[in-house]
Structure 1
């Protein structure tokens, strides 16, 4: 993957490959310092950086091309503080729509922010990826007396590792709902917000996700160097 004199980047900064030696390589950073790095770990870091850049570019293109068609929401769920990110529909990457009216409005391409009602915390950015389908809620771990409900497939674009690292409702101000934390929020409800409010929350959660990935990569690199 790496080539001699090729220019790449890791979480420290941009570097040039000056020597390749099997599983190790020597690199020179922009400030002139050199380091010997693990090729496998650096390859994974570089691939993640490229993927992040491509995702941001794709997201920008998506927003520019579909602003008129995309509707943004907050999606409320029950997830008490201290609990893992596990609730109906999360693992299956689907979302249940509570009312026929909402099922008619929601469509592929719409986006929403997951909000934990009890913890009053925003924790994930999600895109609806397909058309509505009908299913028994129990198939997707929902507990309800309804035998059939409307569902949409989803994709999680960014998520905090846990509620503790999410975005507290008290730490952010939404123009759509200036006092959102004081509202009576119905579990499973959808609350329409402006694109600006959505982007504000999405940016904060994306930064949290990237910081978490960076910490994991740095820890793995440290562990690998310690073993060697």
Structure 2
């Protein structure tokens, strides 16, 4: 995929390919420094960067087209500190809406931020991707007396690796709920917020996700270079 004199990028910056030799290539960064890199690792990093750029562009187009019709929420769930990100509906990529009136208003394209009540931490950005359907909550591992409830399919746009790396409620100010951390937040409840508040939280969580991906890629590159 790499070509001589081609210009690419990794987490260190932009570089030009000077020479290709099997699974190794010599590159020159924009600051003039040169390095010998593993082709397979750099290919994966470059593909991830391109995918991130395309995702951001698609997200921007989507937001411009649908902002007028999109409603934003905080979705509260019970997830104690130190627990893995496993709770009802998460692995199946669905979300339950227990309020019948709200279930009729929520629609495909609406977006929300997951909030762990016990940890008081925001940890994921999610988009509703389909229409409502009714199901037995127990089939999605919910513990509730309800025999039927409304569910929506979702996509996860960004997620922190764990609650410790999420966005603490004390570290951010929300205009919609200035004292959100002091409110009696109920698990499984939705709290409508402004687009500005949503974008503030989404940007913070997206940065956390990208930083974590960079650390993993850098570690993998270091490990493979050490083996060679």
Q: What is the TM-score with the length of structure 1 in the denominator?
A: 0.99
Shift of residue 129, structure 1, vs aligned partner = 0.4
Separation (CA, whole Å) in 2 of partners of 1:5 and 1:218: 24
Equivalent runs, 1:1-228 vs 2, <5 Å:
1-228=1-228
Structure 1, unmatched stretches of 5+, are none
**What SS class does the counterpart of residue 16 from structure 2 fall into?**
strand
Separation (CA, whole Å) in 2 of partners of 1:94 and 1:15: 42
**What SS class does the counterpart of residue 123 from structure 2 fall into?**
strand
**What SS class does the counterpart of residue 82 from structure 1 fall into?**
coil
Count of aligned pairs: 228
Shift of residue 32, structure 1, vs aligned partner = 1.2
Separation (CA, whole Å) in 2 of partners of 1:168 and 1:35: 39
Q: List per-residue Cα deviations over 1:99-153 (Å, max 9, x = no partner).
A: 1111101100000000000000000000000111111111111111212111000
Separation (CA, whole Å) in 1 of partners of 2:178 and 2:144: 32
Moved runs in structure 1, 4+ residues, more than 6 A? none
Shift of residue 44, structure 1, vs aligned partner = 0.7
Q: List per-residue Cα deviations over 1:23-45 (Å, max 9, x = no partner).
A: 11111101111111111110110
Q: List per-residue Cα deviations over 1:38-97 (Å, max 9, x = no partner).
A: 111101100111111111111111111111100000000000000000000000000000
Q: What is the TM-score with the length of structure 2 in the denominator?
A: 0.99
Structure 2, unmatched stretches of 5+, are none
Deviates more, 1:139-148 or 1:212-221: 139-148
